[in-house]
Amino acid sequence: MGADAGGTASRHRGNRHGRSEEARQSVLEAADDLLVEVGYTRLTIEGIAERAGVAKQTIYRWWSSKNDILMDAFVQDAAEALIPSDTADLRQDLRTHARKIARFLTTSDAGAVFRALTAQAQHDPALAARLRFEHLGKQRGHDRLPFERAVARGALDPTVDIDLAVDQIVGPIYYRVLVTGQTTSPRFTDALVDAVLTRLPPARTGDSTSDLAAQQGTKS
Let me know: does 177 contact 115? Beta carbons within 8 Å: yes
What confidence tens digit (pLDDT) does each residue in 16-47 have?
A: 456 688 899 999 999 999 999 999 999 999 99
pLDDT at 182: 96
pLDDT at 212: 55
Average pLDDT of the chain to the nearest whole number:
87
Let me know: does 78 contact 154? Beta carbons within 8 Å: no
pLDDT at 214: 47
In Å, how far are 29, 73, 127, 134, 186 from 79, measured between CA atoms?
15, 10, 18, 10, 22
Q: What is the mean pLDDT of residues 179-203?
A: 95
What confidence tens digit (pLDDT) does each residue in 106-134 have?
A: 999 999 999 999 999 999 999 999 999 99
Find how far residue 34's CA is from the centre of its chain: 20
Residue at 108: amino acid letter: S
CA distance 115 to 121: 10
3-state helix, strand, coil in the chain (%, to 5): 75, 0, 25
Find how far residue 21's CA is from the centre of its chain: 21
pLDDT at 18: 62
What confidence tens digit (pLDDT) does each residue in 48-95 have?
A: 999 999 999 999 999 999 999 999 999 999 988 999 999 999 999 999
pLDDT at 204 over 80: no
pLDDT at 12: 43
pLDDT at 193: 98
Q: Which helix (H) or strand (E) holds 3?
A: helix 2-38
Q: Which helix (H) or strand (E) holds 125?
A: helix 125-131
CA distance 103 to 97: 10
Confidence of residue 4 (pLDDT cuts 50, 70, 90): low
Q: Which helix (H) or strand (E) holds 121?
A: helix 109-121
Q: What is the mean pLDDT of residues 150-158?
A: 94
Please give the domain boundaries of the chain with CATH numbers for all domains: 2-64 (1.10.10.60), 71-215 (1.10.357.10)
CA distance 173 to 167: 10
